[in-house]
Amino acid sequence: MESTENMKDLGTLYLDQSKSGESRWWSWCVGLWFTIVGALFWQSVLVTPIPDISGAKNPEALKAYEDASANFLASIDMVTFGVLVGLLLLVSVLVGIFWIFNRALKGKARSVFGVLTGLMMATSVYLFAKLLPMMSSEEFNAAFNTLLGISALSYMLMLLTFPAVLIVLYIVQKFLHHRPILSLHTAATSFRWKRVLQVIGITFVVYAVLTFISHFSGLSPVEFVFDPSRFFAFALVSLLFIPLQAATEEILIRGYMNQGLVSVFKNKWIAFTLSSLAFMSLHLANPEATKAASESPTIFIMTMSSYFIFGFLLSIMVDFEGGLEAAIGVHAANNLFAAIFVNYENSVLPTPSIFLAKMNVSVDLPVGMAVLAFVTYLVYRTRKPIDGVTLDSTPPSH
């Protein structure tokens, strides 16, 4: 087993891959902006058919969704909303145009269009921040989540938004940063598929033992709700696409963002903190988050803190592993276990699992974080060196 000192070197080996190619601070801003825009575009394309698909099976759910949409639209100033959307689209187009000129020109002209690109990007972020509170409501989110749980096809379309984003990120990595895509995944010479599967197995076993103990101790009992008429279609979609969903989040946040933040701030702990805050913010619209916000500030803080801790522990895992394989394994196992075996009421994954648990925030969140810490420890204890890296090895020069 390698020493702790060498395992830290593995993290450095992975994070330092961002030093090759184009790694100036502005390139990370541009890359992240294009990835977010691509994510919003593909999300709008892929989720558009969901109401019709699920509504054909359950007209009542479609009616509830339409009523929630009407209530949501009535609650906002449509003139202001329309102006902000129009400006955001215009500014986004200008970002693309100015960026093309920046790449095509030389000298002062390139600098001018670089500044204009940055200004338009900053403006688009401001406009999006103004729009964000006007883009959804708790009622609307709950009605849409219900539609996802009606049709396995709708559920699949939602999950497909993640690999679509990953394609955009790979384009950014290849043509903006001029780095190999593998450098986003691992410091090893090839992606360690066996490690992913090993960590999925470790996580599944720990979660299964926890569920058994929690149920029979009365700490968090579960209810048998197996419905074969719905279970198998959703389980198949989960097995095929949840690993892609988990991998996308890990590659974007624990990979791209952490590498970029380390490149800018020169401190991995700052990077891990900021990326974990970003991960937490991505889950603000989750049903469990909106429900927690409606209950009490304390429950909301506990709920959101669990996302932060989850992200931070996975960042630490990437650091001592020298790649994303183990983090992807834990994330995929966590989501698969919920989607297929033991789900919660008001879950963001509205799947017909075998068992159903009622969320008790004061018990489930602390226990869940303790279990995740234990999984992290087990992953640490089973780690292996990368491609012959030894205690005397140093990261290769770039």
Backbone angles phi, psi at 190, to 5 degrees: -150, 155
Which pLDDT band, with edges at 50, 70 and 90, does 389 fall under? low
Of the candidates 377, 244, 242, the one whose C-alpha atom is nearest the C-alpha of residue 313 is 377
**Which tokens is 358 given?**
């009622």
Q: What's the confidence (pLDDT) of residue 380?
A: 94
Q: What is the pLDDT of residues 190-222, one digit of tens each?
A: 999 999 999 999 999 999 999 999 999 988 899
Contact 263, 270 (CB under 8 A): no
Measured CA to CA, the distance from residue 176 to residue 338 in angstroms comes to 37
Q: What's the confidence (pLDDT) of residue 73?
A: 87
Q: What is the pLDDT of residues 298-324, one digit of tens each?
A: 888 999 999 999 999 999 999 999 999
Q: What is the pLDDT of residues 133-149, one digit of tens each?
A: 888 788 888 899 999 99
Measured CA to CA, the distance from residue 283 to residue 306 in angstroms comes to 11
Q: What is the pLDDT of residues 4-44, one digit of tens each?
A: 444 447 778 899 988 888 998 999 999 999 999 999 899 89
Measured CA to CA, the distance from residue 121 to residue 127 in angstroms comes to 10
**Which tokens is 86 given?**
């129009």
Q: What is the pLDDT of residues 164-178, one digit of tens each?
A: 999 999 999 999 999
Give the SS3 label for residue 323. strand
- DSSP H or E run through 223: strand 222-224
Measured CA to CA, the distance from residue 286 to residue 296 in angstroms comes to 16
Q: What's the confidence (pLDDT) of residue 286?
A: 82
Q: What is the pLDDT of residues 350-360, one digit of tens each?
A: 899 999 998 78
- Mean pLDDT, the chain, rounded, equals 90
Q: What's the confidence (pLDDT) of residue 398?
A: 38
**Which tokens is 153 given?**
């096809």
Q: What is the pLDDT of residues 241-250, one digit of tens each?
A: 999 999 999 9
pLDDT at 327 over 80: yes
Burial (CB count <10 Å: 0-12, 13-18, 19+), residue 247: buried
Of the candidates 258, 185, 241, the one whose C-alpha atom is nearest the C-alpha of residue 32 is 258
Of the candidates 51, 59, 63, 15, the one whose C-alpha atom is nearest the C-alpha of residue 264 is 15
**Overall residue count recorded for the chain in this entry:** 398
Measured CA to CA, the distance from residue 231 to residue 41 in angstroms comes to 31
